[in-house]
């Protein structure tokens, strides 16, 4: 197997360009690549589209912020596609003020739209609207330019192992984007991970970043 390039967080952030659709793994911060998010905040890249489960936890009074919340605060996104924004009042404020476009998608539907993109499908049918005038909606696939994902462990080829529920959206997003950058807590030699334990095969991963 060929070893994947190991980037600094700043080098990873530089891969993201103005106007990109960015898939960000995580569920209320669990499984989010925080080191890369921090570097992207420092890079100041704007006019992005976010695809994520949520917009993280943001409490300015207590100084608490996780997931994509630091990027929301910086107004890095022109469009935000998520399942809920209830834990981030800044997202709500931007939506109400017309500073960002927020598209709320049911969580299962969001996952299936990402999955469809990863499997080369144009979309999926969902029965969410059964009994209404929008009975069986066609939901379009949701591909991205860059996936920023987080894993517990990787080997140098880019095979990934996630930790418990931190798996969440990460494996789906790894299949749905042109460039996949995996932030990992531990990097081991090729062959050190039992193939039966690999959650995301190396073929989907382009670059590796070590968590700070």
Identify the pLDDT of residue 127: 83
Q: What is the DSSP string of the chain?
A: -PPPPEE-HHHHHHT--TT-EEEE--BTTBT--HHHHHHHHHHT--SEEEE-SB---EETTTTEE-TTHHHHHTT-EEEEEESB-TT-HHHHHHHHHTSSEEEE--HHHHHHHHHHHHTT-SEEEEGGGTTSTT-SEEEEP--EEEEEEEEEEEETT--EE--GGGGTTHHHHHHHEEEEEEEEEEEE-TT-S-GGG-SB-GGG--EEEE--
Q: Does 60 score more than 80 pLDDT?
A: no
What mean pLDDT comes out for the span 63-87?
95
- With a threshold of 0.85, does the pTM exceed it? yes
Average pLDDT, the chain: 95
Reported confidence tier of residue 159, pLDDT bands at 50, 70, 90: very high
- CB proximity list for 77: less than 8 A, separation 6 or greater: 48, 49, 50, 68, 71, 100
> What is the per-residue pLDDT across 26-48, written as a single tens digit (0 to 9) for each?
999 999 999 999 999 999 999 99
- The share of the chain scoring above pLDDT 70, in percent, equals 100
Q: Which pairing describes strands 144-155 and 137-140: parallel, antiparallel, or unpaired? A: unpaired
CATH architecture, domain defined by 6-107+143-167+177-210: 3-Layer(aba) Sandwich (3.40)
Q: Does 132 score more than 90 pLDDT?
A: no
Identify the pLDDT of residue 189: 98
Identify the pLDDT of residue 129: 75
Give the CA distances from residue 153 to residues 36, 128, 185, 186, 205, in Å, rounded to whole numbers and listed in that order. 16, 36, 6, 5, 13
Q: Does 61 score more than 80 pLDDT?
A: no
Reported confidence tier of residue 137, pLDDT bands at 50, 70, 90: confident
Name the range with the highest mean pLDDT among 1-5, 105-109, 203-207.
203-207
């Amino acid at each position: 197997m060929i070893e994947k390039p190991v980037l600094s967080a700043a080098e990873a952030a530089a891969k993201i360009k103005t106007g990109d659709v960015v898939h960000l793994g995580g569920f209320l911060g669990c499984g989010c690549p925080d080191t890369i998010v921090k570097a992207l905040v420092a890079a100041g890249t704007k006019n992005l589209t976010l695809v994520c489960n949520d917009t993280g936890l943001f409490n300015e009074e207590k100084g608490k912020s996780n997931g994509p919340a630091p990027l929301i605060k910086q107004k890095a996104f022109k469009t935000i596609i998520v399942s809920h924004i209830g834990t981030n009042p800044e997202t709500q404020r931007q939506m109400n003020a017309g500073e960002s476009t927020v598209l709320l998608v049911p969580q299962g539907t969001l996952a299936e739209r990402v999955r469809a993109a990863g499997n080369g499908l144009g979309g999926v049918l969902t029965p969410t609207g059964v009994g209404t005038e929008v009975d069986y909606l066609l939901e379009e696939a949701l591909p991205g330019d860059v996936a920023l994902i987080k894993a517990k462990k990787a080997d140098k080829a880019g095979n990934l192992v996630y930790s418990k529920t931190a798996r969440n959206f990460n494996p789906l997003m790894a299949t749905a984007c042109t460039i996949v950058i995996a932030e990992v807590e531990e990097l081991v030699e090729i062959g050190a991970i039992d193939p039966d334990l690999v959650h995301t095969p190396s073929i989907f991963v382009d670059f590796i970043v070590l968590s700070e």
